[in-house]
A and B are shown apart, each in its own frame.
Chain A
Amino acid sequence: MNAGKLSDVRFAHWKKKSQETRIFGAWKKFSARDVRRCCDATACQTNLSVIRKVGLDIREGRTTAQDVTRAYLAKIRQTDEKVGSFITTQADNAIAQAISIDEKICRGEDPGILTGVAFAIKDNICSSDSFTTAGSRLLEVHQSPHDSLVVSAIKAEGGIILGKTNLDEFGMGSTTENSAFGVTSNPWDMRRIPGGSSGGSASAVALKQCAAALGSDTGGSIRQPASFCGVVGLKPTYGLLSRHGLVAYASSFDTIGPVTTSVEDSAIVLTALCSRHNQLDSTLHHTNSSRFHDHLKNLEHFASKPLSGYRFAIIKETIGLGVQHDVVQRVLEAATKIERLGAAVDFVSCPTFHLGLPAYYILALSEASSNLSRYDCIRLGGKTSRDEGFGAEVKRRILMGSFALSAGHSDAYYERAQEVQRMVEAELACKLQEYDAFILPAAPSPAYLKSEKMNDPLAMYSGDMMTVNVNLSGLPAIVVRGGHVENDGTLLPVGLQIVGRPFRERALLEIAHAYELCTWDEIKF
C-alpha cells in the first residue's frame, strides 16, 4: 500500500530510546506546573469551554485557526518527546485544514461548531490522511482508505486533526504500556502511566497538546485515563455514535467518545459527532441527533440549587474492598457537594456488581479473538506473521478468547458470561428507574507506576472493575474531576464517574456540567 506523501513526524522510533532517560529531571517539575497553568487560565471564568472560546476568538478576529493550530503543534513539539502522547502527527495537513477554515471565515461562512478546534485522535480510529496503527506493529504502515465517520464529522464541523495518539495495542490494556510505539507518561507524574487504553488522548488533553481528543471505551478506556490525567472523558451510550472507522476490539462494547478539558466541550464534541449519522448504519441504535450543549448554562445563570430534584445513588460495592481509601473519600466528598447542589444521594447495593468483571473479560476477549482474525499478515502491509506482529497482551487475549468460544467450553464461559451480562444490565436498569444517575469512582486507585502491573495482568484487569459494568449495560457515563490525592509529594487527580440512563446524554451532561462549574473552586487543580 502506498502511504502517500506524509510529512508527519513519527515518534515511534526515537521515543523508545529517549523515554527512560528523560522521565526524571527538569521535566517532572515542568509537567506539574504546566498542567496546572492550563487549568488556571480558565479557572476564573464562568464557563470552562475551550472550544467555545477558540471558536469565538477566531470568528471575532482575535486570532486565526492557523495561529491556534501552530501554537498547539509547537506545544506538541516541545513536550511530546517526553510524554509520548502521539504516535503520528500531521502538521502539514493540520495547517492546510486551518487555512481553509480561515478562508471560510474571510468569506463570511460558518465553518461549524468545532471551528478551529485542534483534535488528537486515538490511533484506532481511522483517518485517511494518516496512518492508523491501533498501536500495533502489525498495522505499522496501514493507511485507511476512508475517514471514520467521527473524523469526517469533526472535519465537516471545522475541527482540525493534529495527529493520532498512543494506545494499548488494539485498545487491549489499561496503561498504554502495551503499545508497539512506546509508553506514554502521565503528565502529572512522569513515572506513572496515564491509564489506558486511551492514554495518549488523555495525556494530550491534560497537557494542552490539543483542545480536545477522541478516545474509545470498551471496558473503561476513556474514563479511567480521564480520571488518571484529570480531564473529562465521556463514554456515550453504546450505539449512540457510529463505529464505522473504529478498529474493532470487542464490537458489543466498543464506543467512541470525547476527551476534553470541560463538560461543556464534551457536549459540543458529542453534538458534532452525532451530526453526520446515516439511517442505514447498523452500528447505530439511535439516530435522532440532538444538540447536547445548547442548554448548558454559564455559572452566573445557575439557580442556587441547580441539581434539585435529581436523585443519585452511590453503589455500596464500589466504595468497599479493593478500592483505595483516598479514592473513596473523594467520591464521598463529591456526594456531599452534589447534595449541597440540591440533589438527593442514597446508598444502594448492587449484588451483581462484582460478577461484571469476569463476565466482561470473557465476552470482550471472545469477540476480540474473532475481530483480530482478519489480520493475516498478507494484506495491510506490516509484519510477516501474527506471531511477529501482535504484542504479548494481544496474544494472551486472543488465546483466552478463542478458548472461551471453543466447543465444550463455550457453555461454561461464553454463555454463562452472557447470562451474567443480562443480570448486571437488568440490575442497573432497575435502579436507574428510581435514580437519575449513579456516582462511583472511575478506577479503584489513582495513576500507578509504570511496569507496576505489567507482569500481573490480573491486577491490571481488576483495575477495570469500576468501568466494565457500564459497558456490559451499554449505559452512558462521564468522568469529571473529583479532586486529587497526594502521593509521594505528587498531586494525582482522581475522577468522579457519573453513570446516566441510556440515550439520556443530555441529562447526564447537564448534571456533570453543574457539578463541574459549582465545584471548580474547591477542586484545587
Chain B
Amino acid sequence: MIRAGGPSPSPRGRRAGPIRLPRRAPSSTPTRAKTEEKASADASSRTGADAEVQFEAVIGIETHVQLNCRTKAFCRCAAVYGDEPNTHCCPTCMGYPGTYPVLSEAVVRKAVQLGLGLNARVRRRSKFDRKQYFYPDLPKGYQISQFDEPIAEGGYIDVVIPVEDGGGVRRIGITRAHVEEDAGKLTHYPAKGDTPGYALADYNRAGVALVEIVSEPDMRTGREVAAYGAELRRLVRYLDVGDGNLSEGSMRCDVNVSVRPVGREAFGTKVEVKNMNSFNAMSRAIDFEIDRQTALIRAGKGDEIVQETRTWDEGRQCTVSMRKKEGLADYRYFPEPDLPPLVFDEAFVEKCASAMPELPGAIRARYADLGLPPADVQVLVEDKELVEYFDAALAAGAPAKQCANWLTGDVMAWLKNAKDVAVSSMPLSATQLAEFCTLIEDGVISGKIGKDILPDLLEGKEGNKSVGDIVEERGLKQISDPKEIEAIVDRVLEANPGQLEQYRGGKDKLKGFFVGAVLRESGGRANPALSNEILMRKLNEGR
C-alpha cells in the first residue's frame, strides 16, 4: 500500500499492496472451513478456506453531487431542499407533452469547474443522452444524462490518509464526471396489517443538476473510502459548486466493494453499498462489507456473494441486502435529441478555470512550505472559511506557525463552544489575531497573558481596538528588562527567606515554587526565559 510519502506515480495506479484481512478473527475455524471447502467443490470457492491466503478489497465509488445552482438543470424551477413537497415543479420538469429542456449555463460552468478541480480532461465536445427506465420518480420515463461523451474524463484527487492508517497522501484516479438530472424523491410507507402500502412522490428534486463522479477502483479500506469522500466534499465546497451534505442527500456515495485474493488480477463479485449518511458510517459500512465478503470466501461460501445493492443499517451496524441485480439493466441509451451537443472553446474553459479558487491540495502544499505541522494544516484546510481567515491573518503579518497554533487551538475551541458563530462573523478580526500573534512571537506579551486576554478578544469586548493598545492599557506588556526582573526576583527571595534557606540546603524541588512566585509577583508579565535565567542565577549564588 502506498501510504507514506508522495502520491503514487500513476494516477490510475491500481498496484496497491495487500491489506491484512480480516482485522477480526474469521468466524469459522480453519479446520471447519476446510471440510466445508471439500464438501463444496464449487469453482467460486476455489480460493476459500486457506487461512494463509490474504485477501484484499477493491473499492470504487460513484458519487452524485448536487450542484448548488439557483435553478434546476433544464427549467427555471428553484432548486431548493426541504420545502413543501411538489412546490417547485413546472410542466418541463414534470415532463408534460410539448415541453423541452433548456440547459442552464450555471450548470455547465460548475460542472466544468468540478471537472478541472478533479484534474480531469474537460472534453471540448460532449453530448447528452437519455437513460431510459420506468420508475415513478422519473417524470419523463428517462433521465437526461451523459453516456459515452461525459463532460470530463481521466482525472485524480490526492487524498490525505488518516494518521491511524499510516498517514501520507494517496492518489485516487477519477474515471469520469458527467452531468445528469436528479430524480424525484419517493417515500415508501409499507403495508400495515390490512392497510396496503403506498409511496408518496415529491418532485421538487426532479431535474436538479447532478454531477456523477466515478472513481477508479483504487481504494482498499473503509477509511480510505471515507478520506476520499471527505476530500471530494472539500473540493465541492471550495469550488462552491455544491453543499456536499450527506444527510440531506446533496452528496450521495454508492460504493462498489469486491474482495479477491492478493495477487489475483480478476475482480471478485461486486456489491454496491448505499445509504451512508456520514463519512464515519461509510468507513464502518465498507469495513463491515469487506469482512462479510472475506468471511464468506474463507468459509467456502464465496458463491453467496452476489451482485446486489446493500444498504447500511446504522442501528444494527451492518449492511442489509436491498435488491439483487438480475443481469445488467438495459437503459437503452441514445443521444438526447432535444439538446444540442456541448461544445466549449478554450476561452470558455479558461474563463471557468480563472474563476476557480485555490483548492485544498494547493493550500496544503503552501502551508507545508510555511512549516506548519501536518495536523494544523489538516484542521485549517477542512474549512474554506478558516483558510480565508488564516490567509487574511497572514496577509496582516501574522507569524504563520504561531498563528496556526492559536487558530487551530484556542480559537477553534471557542468556536466549537459558541454555537452559531461562523469563522467569518467571529468578533476577533484576522488583523487582531495577526497582531496578537505578533505580540507573542516578539515577546511583547507572554503566551500566558495571551491565553488570558484571548477570550475578551473573541467575544469582541474590546471592539476593533488594536491588541497592542489593549495590552498597553491593561499594563500587560511582558517585562523583558533584566534589571526590572532582577528587582522582582530580589523581592521574591527577600519575602521567602525560609524557602530560600531550604533550597540552598539542597531541596531542588522548591525551584518550581520560586518560578511561580516570580510569575505572580510580575503579574504574569515577566518574560519566562529571562526570569528563569535570572532566578536560577540568584538562587544558586549562595549555594
Contacts and interface: CB of A to CB of B under 8 A. Distances in A.
Contacts of B330: 406-407
B340 interface: yes
B130 A370 contact: yes
Given A281-B102, A282-B100, A380-B96, A146 B141 contact: no
Interface in A119-157: 124-126, 132, 134, 139, 142, 144-146, 148
B338 A283 contact: yes
A132 B98 contact: yes
B539 interface: no
Give the interface size class of chain A: 35 or more
A145 B96 CA distance: 9
Contacts of B141: 370, 373-374, 376
A512 interface: no
Interface in B292-343: 328, 330, 332-334, 337-340
A517 B328 CA distance: 61
B334 A282 contact: no
B54 interface: no
A247 B134 CA distance: 20
B97 A374 contact: yes
A246 B340 CA distance: 18
Contacts of B378: none
Contact of A370 (B91, B139, B142): B142
A370 B334 contact: yes
A280 interface: yes
A422 to B, nearest CB: 13
Interface in A357-382: 366-367, 369-370, 373-376, 378-380
A244 B100 contact: yes
Give the interface size class of chain B: 20 to 34
Given A146-B91, A407-B328, A366 B96 contact: no
A379 B94 contact: yes
A519 interface: no
Given A282-B103, A406-B330, A367 B337 contact: yes
A373 B140 contact: yes
B424 interface: no
Contacts of A376: 134, 136, 141
Contacts of B466: none
B100 A144 contact: no
Given A282-B338, A370-B130, A144 B139 contact: no
A247 to B, nearest CB: 4
A245 interface: yes
Contact of A252 (B98, B130, B337): B337
Contacts of A281: 102
Contacts of B100: 243-244, 248, 282-283
Nearest to B132: A370
A251 interface: yes
Interface string B81-97: 00000000001001111
B103 A142 contact: no
A279 to B, nearest CB: 11
B338 A251 contact: yes
A132 B98 CA distance: 10
B97 A142 contact: yes
A289 interface: no
Contacts of A379: 94, 139
Given A144-B98, A244-B98, 19 more contacts: A126-B98, A134-B97, A144-B97, A243-B100, A244-B99, A248-B100, A252-B337, A282-B338, A283-B338, A367-B334, A370-B132, A370-B141, A370-B142, A374-B139, A374-B141, A376-B136, A380-B96, A380-B97, A414-B334
Interface of A: 124-126, 132, 134, 139, 142, 144-146, 148, 243-248, 250-252, 280-283, 285, 366-367, 369-370, 373-376, 378-380, 402, 405-407, 410, 414
